[in-house]
Amino acid sequence: MPLIFSRRREPSLRVARRPAGCFPPPAVSHPSSIRRTLAIISHPDAGKTTLTEKFLLYGGAIDLAGSVTSRRDRRQTTSDWMELEKQRGISISSTVLQFQYGGFHVNLLDTPGHEDFSEDTYRVLTAVDAVIMVVDAGKGVEARTRKLFEICRLRGIPIFTFINKLDRPTRSPIDLVDEIENVLGIASHPMNWPLGDGPRFRGLIQRRDGQLNLFEKTKAGAYRAPVSVMGLTDPAVREHVDGDLVDKAVEEMELLDIAGAPFDLERVLKGELTPVFFGSAANNFGIQLLLDGFLAMAPEPAGRKSGETMIEPEDKRFSGFVFKIQANMNPKHRDRMAFIRIVSGKFERDMQVWHGSAAKQIRLSNSQKLFAQEREIVDEAFAGDVVGLVGNQPFEIGDTLTVDNTIKFDEIPIFPPECFANIRGRSTATAKRFRAGMDQLVREGVIQLFETAGGSASLLGAVGPLQFEVLKYRLESEYGAEVVVEQCPWQVIRWLMKNDEPVTGAFPPTDDLPGGCALAKDAAGHWVVLAEAEWALRSFKRYHEQWELAERLLK
């Protein structure tokens, strides 16, 4: 196990060793009991990818962490691997990374914060058992975090909070903790407490035992931060830290002891209480305390429901579901990867399973362990693990894979698009590549394809307009197909329903349309009405009372 020492050896400083994973090794009652599967979520730019990178550094999975901001030496993060992500320094697509730490197999999913990519983030939340919510200490709880948090609450997922960027001037930590409680409506319990902020940030105090972790900066945060640990009452502390900072932190912690929620693991696991950790991801401050604290508390993989039956991880029948599809992760091979969350049983390479949507058996031969875009063959995996299946099988998002075809998971919500655009190839010379690219990228499920009644271009729908930009970029860079994308005025979509069944058929079911409306067919041949605004939709309803209008179709 790697040990981390302080490089400074001042005689008055008692230096303690902090081994990786400083909690007792987990008991292995079942292979899935040592799996932990989590997502990192937040408002854009709070530091999710940076934190992911630092977790990998502490897990020993990478030697030198790339920093999103360190443009000078051009090291890139492992997690943001897509060309466009590297250029813009933002995450566009969620990434799966796996590493071992302190006896655990950790499956970590880094998600994009931007709301235009939220469909991807929501799907990832179906595949995890806990989340770490990152909050920028200078900004507090931001809009996107609030929305994502509500989804986690609905799913009852345990939520851990990391208050990041302590190396910058921050809001008062008491205010930040208050805001989590008031804005998010969840009780909080700080596990550690910061000593100063910005240039005066000196370390973190463990509330449990009053131990102070003094930090030092490492170059660009590329290496694990050396840590010196000492008791807060140790006279040596005041030789290293200004007395006023210590007094303030002690006062604040006394206030928390009196007025704050007591620690209660049961409430954490129910998602009612969030343990709060402070730190600075870019500088590796507090990363190990967060990782150790998370692993000491995070739940084992949970089962998922098939109809009314709960399928538990210990169930011997293998089962899992597809929660994400990504094309061209490796640009040299034009292939697709389907990401599976294993729910029960043991996964073995080459096993035969039922493929839910196709109702036939297939062999799972090309299974891979994931490390951003790097891959390694995986021979076996257990409940809680995320496995990538590479190839051209007709998997769709939400599909169940299982050895018992009575199991069927219904985890993945389908989001109706909120913005629309027409797309066409710029030149007939690249028409074939354009079609191939569209076919692959639409399967990822973040762009939906529609055919307008009488229209020639393909109509695309997405949750946010940035998705169109990403599609255009990827068609051009990954397939060499130049395209023209034109935004459309449609803002509302409804599926036409008759007697609870979607309306289908080769020809438009009516040509009698009010202004501001059009008809189109989705990829499965269901007719939809598109409206420029709610008023147009209301006129359509008056014209056509024979149909019910559905906001979304269940698969």
Ligand X SMILES: Nc1nc2c(ncn2[C@@H]2O[C@H](COP(=O)(O)OP(=O)(O)OP(=O)(O)O)[C@@H](O)[C@H]2O)c(=O)[nH]1
Among 49, 95, 121, 458, binds ligand X (CB under 6 A): 49
| Residue span 277-306 as binding mask against ligand X, x where in contact by CB under 6 A, dash where not | ---xxxx-----------------------
CB under 6 A: which stretch of 11-19, 63-71, 382-390, 459-467 binds ligand X?
Answer: 63-71
Cβ pair 363, 354 in contact under 8 A: no
| 6 or 164: CB nearest ligand X | 164
* Strands 130-136 and 159-164, sheet pairing: parallel
Among 6, 37, 164, 288, binds ligand X (CB under 6 A): 164
User: Would you count residue 68 as binding ligand X (CB under 6 A)?
Assistant: yes
Instruction: Output the CA torsion sign for 278, 289, 58, 195.
Output: positive
- Please list every residue from 26 through 45 that binds ligand X, using CB under 6 A: 42, 44-45
Name the residue among 408, 524, 424 with its Cα closest to residue 475: 424
CB atoms under 10 Å from CB of 537, counted, come to: 20
358 vs 379: CA distance, rounded Å: 25
CB under 5 A: which stretch of 86-94, 156-164, 171-179, 472-480 binds Mg ion?
Answer: 86-94
Cβ pair 425, 434 in contact under 8 A: yes
Distances (CA, A) of 57 to 2, 224, 269: 12, 7, 27
User: Would you count residue 47 as binding ligand X (CB under 6 A)?
Assistant: yes
| Residue span 166-205 as binding mask against Mg ion, x where in contact by CB under 5 A, dash where not | ----------------------------------------
User: Would you count residue 50 as binding ligand X (CB under 6 A)?
Assistant: yes
- Please list every residue from 19 through 48 that binds Mg ion, using CB under 5 A: 48
449 vs 471: CA distance, rounded Å: 12
User: Would you count residue 118 as binding ligand X (CB under 6 A)?
Assistant: no
CB atoms under 10 Å from CB of 468, counted, come to: 23
Written as one letter, the residue type at 180 is: I
User: Would you count residue 91 as binding Mg ion (CB under 5 A)?
Assistant: yes
User: Would you count residue 48 as binding ligand X (CB under 6 A)?
Assistant: yes
CB under 6 A: which stretch of 165-173, 319-327, 403-411, 479-487 binds ligand X?
Answer: 165-173
The distance from CA 138 to its chain's CA centroid, rounded to whole angstroms, is 22
User: Would you count residue 114 as binding Mg ion (CB under 5 A)?
Assistant: no
User: Would you count residue 228 as binding Mg ion (CB under 5 A)?
Assistant: no
State the minimum distance, in angstroms, from the CB of residue 46 to ligand X.
Answer: 5
User: Would you count residue 54 as binding Mg ion (CB under 5 A)?
Assistant: no
Among 65, 90, 159, 245, binds ligand X (CB under 6 A): 90
Cβ pair 442, 479 in contact under 8 A: no
- Please list every residue from 469 through 498 that binds Mg ion, using CB under 5 A: none
Residue 499 tokens read as 């007697």
Name the residue among 337, 351, 339, 347 with its Cα closest to residue 313: 347
> Could you tell which of ligand X, Mg ion, none binds residue 281, using a CB distance below 5 to 8 A set by kind?
ligand X
State the minimum distance, in angstroms, from the CB of residue 108 to ligand X.
Answer: 13
Cα Rg of the chain, angstroms: 25
| 61 or 340: CB nearest ligand X | 61
| 78 or 284: CB nearest Mg ion | 78
Name the residue among 260, 280, 194, 199 with its Cα closest to residue 232: 194
Site size toward ligand X (CB under 6 A) is: 24
User: Would you count residue 224 as binding Mg ion (CB under 5 A)?
Assistant: no
Write down the H helix ranges in 387-445: 431-443
Residue 289 tokens read as 């305390």
Name the residue among 8, 28, 37 with its Cα closest to residue 298: 37
Among 139, 147, 155, 168, binds ligand X (CB under 6 A): 168
Name the residue among 13, 38, 208, 202 with its Cα closest to residue 111: 38
CB under 6 A: which stretch of 159-167, 189-197, 396-404, 460-468 binds ligand X?
Answer: 159-167
Stretch (H or E) spanning 107: strand 104-110
- Measured at CB, which residue is nearest to ligand X? 113
State the minimum distance, in angstroms, from the CB of residue 87 to ligand X.
Answer: 12
State the minimum distance, in angstroms, from the CB of residue 286 to Mg ion.
Answer: 19
> Could you tell which of Mg ion, ligand X, none binds residue 478, using a CB distance below 5 to 8 A set by kind?
none
> Could you tell which of Mg ion, ligand X, none binds residue 306, using a CB distance below 5 to 8 A set by kind?
none
36 vs 131: CA distance, rounded Å: 11
4 vs 225: CA distance, rounded Å: 8
Stretch (H or E) spanning 346: strand 346-348
State the minimum distance, in angstroms, from the CB of residue 91 to Mg ion.
Answer: 3
> Could you tell which of ligand X, Mg ion, none binds residue 44, using a CB distance below 5 to 8 A set by kind?
ligand X
Rounded to the nearest 10°, the torsion over CA 414, 420, 426, 431 is: 30
> Could you tell which of Mg ion, ligand X, none binds residue 164, using a CB distance below 5 to 8 A set by kind?
ligand X
Among 6, 32, 33, 91, binds ligand X (CB under 6 A): 91
Among 32, 37, 42, 49, binds Mg ion (CB under 5 A): 49
> Could you tell which of ligand X, Mg ion, none binds residue 437, using a CB distance below 5 to 8 A set by kind?
none
Stretch (H or E) spanning 424: strand 419-425
DSSP state of 248: H
Among 12, 69, 100, 182, binds ligand X (CB under 6 A): 69
232 vs 545: CA distance, rounded Å: 72
Instruction: Output the CA torsion sign for 537, 541, 542, 544.
Output: positive
DSSP per position, 503-550: ---SS-S-----TTEEEEEETTS-EEEEESSHHHHHHHHHH-TTSEEE
> Could you tell which of Mg ion, ligand X, none binds residue 231, using a CB distance below 5 to 8 A set by kind?
none
Among 21, 102, 112, 388, binds ligand X (CB under 6 A): 112
Residue ranges that bind ligand X, judged by CB under 6 A: 42, 44-50, 67-69, 90-91, 112-114, 164-165, 167-168, 280-283
Residue ranges that bind Mg ion, judged by CB under 5 A: 48-49, 91
